[in-house]
Amino acid sequence: MPPPHNRVRLLIRDMMTVTQYQAILAVARNDFLKIFRKLVSSAQVLSTEETSYRRYCTALLVLRHFQCPAAVQGLTVSEWVNRKEVDDRVVIGFGRNETMQRAACFALTKEEEAWLQAYYSHIRPRVIRSDLNCDRFFLSSADTALLTVSNDLGVLHKAYEKSWSMGTLENFLRATSRQARGALETAAANLTDTEKEAVSSYLAYNTAVAKLRRVPTPQTVVATATLLDSLAGSDTDRFSGPSGTKSLDFAAFLMRFPASADSKAPTKLDRLKAGFPGDRVFYDKWRAAQKAKRMERLLKAFTRKPQESRVKYGILKEGWKNNCPKPADVLAAWKPATQFVIETDEDLRRNVSQQTWKGLAIKDFGGEKGLAVVATQPFSKGDIVCDYHGKVITYAQGKVMMQNLQDEAVYLFFFRTGQRPLCIDAQTFPCECHPCADTVGRRLNHSSKQANLCPEPFVLKVNGQDVDVVLFRALRDISVDIELKFDYGVKRKSFRGEDQDLQWLDE
């Protein structure tokens, strides 16, 4: 067990908020701005001041933008000069190199951009050696790529230890990248799933998580940066002094004025009456929070990737006149539905129970191939296209049916859900629930090389009962008139057709 004073530190660390972990930025801010003014006015700056300026810049990226030290150390000049201006922010980092799975992506304010540009224009050229080809943005005083961001943060805290008020938490607790990111994740616990995923993507760097996630759009990065500001309460200048005293924070603002998708924005008079400042800081953050809620509602409405006209109609139907996502941003943010979304989607349930799948047609190709399914509308990668419809029976029952079949085509789909091996009987045709319909799923053909659908098992509540279903998800974008196929997981020799010419099975 750790000594008592260490246990106290651990308890206090667990109680720290994002705002408290960012306190060093407020305490060191005035000295930092003095150096900044010297740099932009071409006044003489001491080498110790240059080092202090760099330390503040790296601390800004670690504590305010929650980038891990490796990401800050890996920031390159190429990424800096290719930064993108989006709305009122500047987005950094959309690339890869041989050491990174994905470049860090974060969004600076215009003021922060000016601070880093001052380092880039005035300090970095003074320390880089003419014979050194280094693309790293931050350099040490030894003219090499900076390898000690964590140490820089510790030295910055050490330099201002005497500035802390005696008895405050910060007097004996220094913020690390891991602690700040942990506090952020705690603060994000009550966010929506979409917001949590955006925050996770903003933090991800050089990990398996980063490899699996799609590179976010600049607009998504900006929206997430604004969301992070709201979690912290307000900007880095929110502290009135070293003691960390601050005014009403954004969390209190949200409690007074909840930012739901349908909420009415608080007027300036409303804000003043509630005891909040009359400026636009909290108001703009409130609008960003509401916009994120509206984005989430729109994304949940589309299991398949919609056309822009559908998104416009969705916005019109909601009655939103302003502060709503642009249709192009909704399309850029759309991703295939998760298992939870699929299993609770009313349209999917209706399509399964009534077999009302859209954009599909059964076509007779003639000859040996016979009937197949083609697309009559475009599908996007990740769309749920249709199901394999039939009565769900046990694996053993399916095997018995298969053994009793002679030269007939086999319409039995064996699958496993959890530890249960099951079978869908589409052999019995027509099915009991649709006596007049030839369901499309049973007409899907096989291709091991050109499959554009993938079967996935789900449990849907259909007509009040939990039903095991197999849904087909698009593996890639599918155009009109393209035949829909999936890989049965078999070859000719194992498809009950050893003596038949079934070459089309291996197309």
310 and 414 in one domain?
A: no
Query: Sorting pLDDT into bands at 50, 70 and 90, what band is 95?
Result: very low
pLDDT at 83 over 90: no
| Residue where one domain finishes, among candidates 146, 180, 214 | 180
Least confident of 54-68, 144-158, 263-277: 144-158
- Whether 145 is covered by a domain: the verdict is yes
pLDDT at 122 over 50: yes
Give CA separation, 276 vs 238, 256, 270, 433, in Å. 13, 10, 9, 61
pLDDT for res 166: 40
> Which residue range(s) make up the domain with 432?
346-506
> CB–CB of 171/165 below 8 Å?
yes
- Whether 236 is covered by a domain: the verdict is no
- Whether 436 is covered by a domain: the verdict is yes
| Residue where one domain finishes, among candidates 285, 304, 335 | 335
pLDDT for res 452: 93
Is 416 or 145 the better-scoring residue by pLDDT? 416
380 and 262 in one domain?
A: no
Mean pLDDT, residues 334-341 taken together = 70
pLDDT at 286 over 60: yes
Query: Sorting pLDDT into bands at 50, 70 and 90, what band is 8?
Result: very low
pLDDT for res 148: 79
330 and 351 in one domain?
A: no
59 and 23 in one domain?
A: yes
pLDDT for res 168: 44
pLDDT for res 172: 37
Determine the Cα–Cα distance for residues 421 and 484; give it in Å rounded to an integer. 26
**Which has the closest alpha carbon to 445: 490, 378, 400, 497?**
490
350 and 328 in one domain?
A: no
pLDDT at 361 over 80: yes
pLDDT for res 498: 31
- Whether 395 is covered by a domain: the verdict is yes
Is 86 or 95 the better-scoring residue by pLDDT? 86
64 and 34 in one domain?
A: yes
90 and 31 in one domain?
A: yes
CATH number of the domain at 37, please: 1.10.443
Max alpha carbon distance in the chain (Å)?
A: 92
Is 4 or 245 the better-scoring residue by pLDDT? 4
352 and 330 in one domain?
A: no
- Whether 199 is covered by a domain: the verdict is no
447 and 426 in one domain?
A: yes
pLDDT for res 327: 92
Strongest mean pLDDT among 50-54, 178-182, 294-298, 411-415:
50-54
Is 215 or 440 the better-scoring residue by pLDDT? 440
- Angle of helix 29-40 versus helix 47-59 axis, rounded to 10: 120
pLDDT for res 145: 64
**Cα–chain-centroid distance for residue 45?**
42
Least confident of 157-166, 169-178, 401-410: 169-178
CATH number of the domain at 380, please: 2.170.270.10
- Whether 224 is covered by a domain: the verdict is no
pLDDT for res 56: 94
- Whether 82 is covered by a domain: the verdict is yes
**Which has the closest alpha carbon to 469: 479, 457, 481, 461?**
457
360 and 462 in one domain?
A: yes
169 and 42 in one domain?
A: yes
pLDDT for res 504: 33
pLDDT at 90 over 70: yes
pTM of the model: 0.47
- The tally of domains found in the chain comes to 3
Query: Sorting pLDDT into bands at 50, 70 and 90, what band is 409?
Result: low
pLDDT for res 338: 67
Mean pLDDT, residues 225-251 taken together = 56
- Whether 72 is covered by a domain: the verdict is yes
Q: Are strands 445-446 and 485-486 parallel, antiparallel or unpaired?
A: parallel
pLDDT for res 315: 93
Determine the Cα–Cα distance for residues 317 and 313; give it in Å rounded to an integer. 6
- In tens, the pLDDT along 456-500 reads 888 888 777 888 888 999 998 888 788 999 987 644 333 333 333
Rounded to the nearest integer, the mean pLDDT of the chain is 77
pLDDT at 57 over 90: yes
pLDDT for res 323: 92
pLDDT for res 50: 92
| Residue where one domain finishes, among candidates 180, 207, 232 | 180
3-class SS of residue 374: strand
pLDDT for res 276: 80
368 and 290 in one domain?
A: no
Mean pLDDT, residues 417-427 taken together = 82
pLDDT for res 184: 81
Determine the Cα–Cα distance for residues 467 and 461; give it in Å rounded to an integer. 6
